[in-house]
Chain A
């Protein structure tokens, strides 16, 4: 069955520190992988996506993610977190069909 797991419900980091948000997926076919960010009361903004090719993908706002097929993971990273990065982060997997599968989200708090 297709699913996405984000093991960390909530993460707190200090401003300027590095960040890694974990995402594991289960998908029967070649996955298309996405990371979205959601600020309170807002819709989802695409941070980055992986379809094929280089397994390290760069996104907006200084984020990057690495696709590791052997680990079924697509972890999101940022070398230096800014206070404005505080938000909810969702990992999603999809394919050539319609269905997107979202993880339960990771809430990021940034402390000064």
Chain B
């Protein structure tokens, strides 16, 4: 079993839709949770960062962490074609290396 599981997609939605991206994990020591966005032929770009459980909102993006269920989510409201990318979840325990999910390909159709 992988430490971090993420559905690879692709997930295809119409412009303006609400998008939900998810990851599950097995290591209960993880306490730092991140979402990275990766455009084609580019490196990952940090989108959201959350410490421990709870919600964090930044514009159209909301990150949720449920440590009791070992489940994290990223919601994108009013999705735009420019949101089309691969979304990688990543997490770590304090002082340990970052572990990435495989990434979900998102396509937003205009």
Whether A and B are associated in the same complex: the answer reads no
User: Which residues in B have some Cβ–Cβ distance to A below 8 Å?
Assistant: none
User: Which residues in A have some Cβ–Cβ distance to B below 8 Å?
Assistant: none
